[in-house]
Chain A
Amino acid sequence: MSISAPSAESRATALSFENLTVSFETEFSEVHAVKGISLEVYPGEVVALVGESGSGKSVTSTAAIGLLPSNANISGKAFVGGVNVVGLAENKMRKMRATEIAMVFQEPMTALNPVLTVERQLTESLELHGLAYGKEATARAIELLKLVGIPDPHKRIKQYPHQFSGGQRQRIVIAMAISCDPKVIIADEPTTALDVTVQAEILDLLRELKDKLNTGILLITHNMGVVADLADRVAVMFHGSLVETGTVDQVLNRPQHDYTKKLLASVPRLAAVDVTGTWTPAPPDPVSLDRELVLEAKNLVLEYDMRGTKFRAVDDLSFELERGKILGIVGESGSGKSTVAKAVLGLLPVASGVLAVQGTNLASLRPKESRAIRSKIGVIFQDPAASLNPRFPIGDCITEPMVVHKVGTRAERIKRAEELLDAVHLPRTVINRYPHELSGGQRQRICIARALTLDPELLIADEPTSALDVSVQAAVLEMIQELQSRYEFACLFVSHDLAVVDLLAHHVVVMKDGKAVEQGRVSDVLHSPQHDYTRKLLAAAPVPEPREQAERREARRLLLSAEAQQN
């Protein structure tokens, strides 16, 4: 399914960059974001622009649509449908947006205006560009909604964005993007904010649309699975330059540049999943009598109090976590997986059931006893930007648990901080630095060090790598593995990424709507899923290999159609 790039003479490009350079004036210096890149997108083709944060991929696409901030200096050329948009007057650029070039944004929750109906937002660009007015525009809008797969578009067009689910909202954003038949669509991380099953649907939709409408798509993403699923050609960007361009098969399977090779090597991959269910499981682990349970949940119920009404986030959940083992909790957003972590951390009271750390039930503890338990639990959160107090130097961040539990003298604390910095492979000099001087991955390592300060029995990791780039994620995961084997703590690892859980965990609980649908050894659950939901999750997770991904897509289609027949 790879299309070789047509020669420039045979077809006009939908979007092309010629030696584009972008730099930004900042408070203290000038930053070169894009250093002279050249790239073409032809009609009906998906070109994926991949790279890690700060590689300049979003800046490149924003330059094409003329939305860069005023402190940007742009040189070179960017052709949209044959017109150079670099230095184009704002009023001319405005006429080209939507009709020539359109954009699909990352976050569907904020890309739509919450106080306007979907109808107003869809007809807006049609009317602005004089393509259709009034009833005619509404009719076009209904057609568009039908095209992007919103059921019952006649009724739903009168509704407001909050009445749609996240995936449906992204469909509406896509409908807005294609409303004026643009020659090229820029999709900036279009599925990053979505769950895997929804992501798979949106990718299907984009694939369908570009064939139907013959639109070129510039896909900005960091997810190699998405690239393998959707892209025809791939351009790899690093530090503002293109290091490699080629068909998806060439780049993902036979990468030439060292950077691409290393980038691909750091992507965690799901081992081959047997969706058909003919896999023979390994014999069950022998239950040793002297095993030491660090964390145990029995019929655990957790509730949020929403102004008087209770919302049950976790319902009748049971699991066990042994010393030295990693238990993964996977699920989509709203499944209650992070709520479990919160309850273990004492940030949420237990509504009923048992949640015990080393045999002590958290639900029945007095505040003072519960503080003693806290010293046995370390935590790593998702967002490295928010998990360190910006006013604390790194040394204070790491030693805070010792201060809170009044452990050690000042000298001992500094010594411990230095030991931990060595353990997370950071130079000891960062002890006096501030969080804002470190990158996301480095901050996450500081969080790991802080979590280990008091030699905890239990480490709670709540999506610790989902805000990180793949190579940084690989480094952080490797570090958690290394430290875990050294210090032998038990770890509760909450994640939405099946590949990461597959890589790291020994046991896994799959959660859906607050209930555990399946649990057991990772090798059993993820490689031979018994429950339909687990199968669907696994089938929806894209793998970074185009041919395998095409097979998986087909398998997923079969799975879904079989399910549709059953109902």
Chain B
Amino acid sequence: MTIEKEPVEGAAVLLAEAEDAALARKDSTSLSQGQLIRRRFIAHRAAMISTVLLVFIALMAFTSIGYAGIPGWWGKDYTMAGTVINGGHPTLSLLPSWLGGPGLAWGEHPFGQDSTGKDYFALVMRGTQQSIIIAVVVGFVATVIGAIIGAVAGYYRGWVDAVLMRLTDLFIVIPLLVLAAVLGQIAGRSGNPTVVLALVLGLVTWTGLARLVRGEVLSLREREYVAAAQAMGATTRRVILKHLLPNTIGVIVVNATFAIAGAILLETSLSYLGFGVKAPDSSLGLLISQYQNAFTNRPWLFWWPGMIILTIALSVNFLGDGLRDAFDPRQTRKAKRRKKKVEVSE
């Protein structure tokens, strides 16, 4: 009753031996899961364009008018009123001169001026700053809270799960806008209203992620590597932070991007309703609400903030799409594309 070990004869190599040989032959470059995901993400065209666009908008918003006392390259301030030139029409022109346009030029007020002569470019950039701050803070706060609550509920199950999930249900049944409006009012009285508003929004929008992470953890906790870690005496903290959460990163990252898009729209709605950012400060939603009546005679006051909201929200959504495809190994798009190429070449 022993296993006979025969020397390798000819080409016949058993699977076990063939696998070892293949491993020994492998070159030294080894791709981690993270690297594979990065590769797939870079191959996702819409997501890459969105990323570039987002970075561009963020750089534009923060460098143009500066932030927190640091001056930017755009000379005008968003609170500074002035004389209205040419009815406040935007001076930005994109049509090049060889097409009969005035050529590529910024002009004095690229986005135009509002009724009191404030530079609208500065105002919109300020609004974009606020929206981006809110998006990032909400994305971060909601993700951290949601991930931790979800992981704890999924890991412990039983009464811990029951309590945490009923709490989640409670947050879900209260209309988000009402809750955010009430809390936003309180936030408005604090020193840094935007950041406090963002924190408050984060505190009420973690529910979706908590549920998703809980579901994922419920299935992951039955994996054998979790049992192995428990069996070797790892603490609960270690199991959750090292073994469970890193493996839900796909769900978390994808959901965070959607939470960010949602937060931008939520802030916009709140400011539009008058519960969010207040004048003289500016936000994209506030600008739209202030100038909705100007739509017929000075439509650019509506279009600029609207377009930027749309661009940010769409880009973040595409980014989330790209991340989801990158994290999902079952995607087949690439193979199909290559197959088509082969057929054409034949």
Contact = CB atoms under 8 A, between A and B. Distances in A.
Interface of A: 25-27, 52-54, 71, 238, 243, 257-259, 261-263, 265-266, 268-269, 271, 345-347, 370-372, 374-375, 377, 379, 381-383, 386-391, 393, 400-401, 404-405, 425-427, 429-430, 432-434, 436-439, 441-442, 447, 450, 460, 469, 471-472, 474-475, 477-478, 502-503
A404 B3 contact: no
A271 B1 CA distance: 7
Contacts of B235: 404
Given A262-B12, A389-B243, A404 B234 contact: yes
B219 to A, nearest CB: 11
Contacts of B1: 268-269, 271, 502-503
B343 to A, nearest CB: 10
A25 B30 contact: no
A427 B19 CA distance: 12
B224 A381 contact: yes
A152 B225 CA distance: 45
Given A25-B339, A371-B233, A381 B15 contact: no
Interface stretch (B96-104, B184-192, B310-318, B329-337): B329-337
A474 B12 CA distance: 17
Nearest to A267: B3
Contacts of A478: 3, 5
B336 A258 contact: no
A381 B227 contact: yes
B19 A266 contact: no
Contacts of A258: 9-12
B233 A375 contact: yes
Interface string B2-21: 01111001111111110110
A450 B12 contact: no
B192 to A, nearest CB: 37
A472 B16 contact: yes
Given A268-B3, A450-B228, A263 B30 contact: no
Interface in B1-53: 1, 3-6, 9-17, 19-20, 23-24, 26, 28, 30-33
Contacts of B238: 404
B3 A266 contact: yes
A386 B227 CA distance: 10
B278 interface: no
B81 to A, nearest CB: 55
Nearest to B17: A471
Given A426-B23, A438-B23, A471 B16 contact: yes
A263 B331 CA distance: 36
B229 interface: yes
Interface string B200-242: 0000000000000000000000011101111111110010001
User: Chain B, interface size: which category?
Assistant: 35 or more
Interface of B: 1, 3-6, 9-17, 19-20, 23-24, 26, 28, 30-33, 223-225, 227-235, 238, 242-243, 246-247, 331-332, 334-336, 338-339
Contacts of A433: 30
A281 to B, nearest CB: 17
Nearest to A379: B231
A52 B17 CA distance: 12
A71 B332 contact: yes
8 contacts: A238-B12, A268-B1, A404-B238, A429-B28, A437-B30, A471-B14, A474-B16, A503-B1
Contacts of A243: 12
Contact of B14 (A262, A387, A404, A438): A262
A271 B31 CA distance: 46
Given A53-B15, A391-B247, A404-B233, A430 B228 contact: no
Contacts of B28: 429
Given A387-B228, A503-B1, A266 B30 contact: no
Contacts of B230: 345-347
A85 B204 CA distance: 58
Contacts of A346: 230-231
A430 to B, nearest CB: 7
A559 B123 CA distance: 91
A204 to B, nearest CB: 28
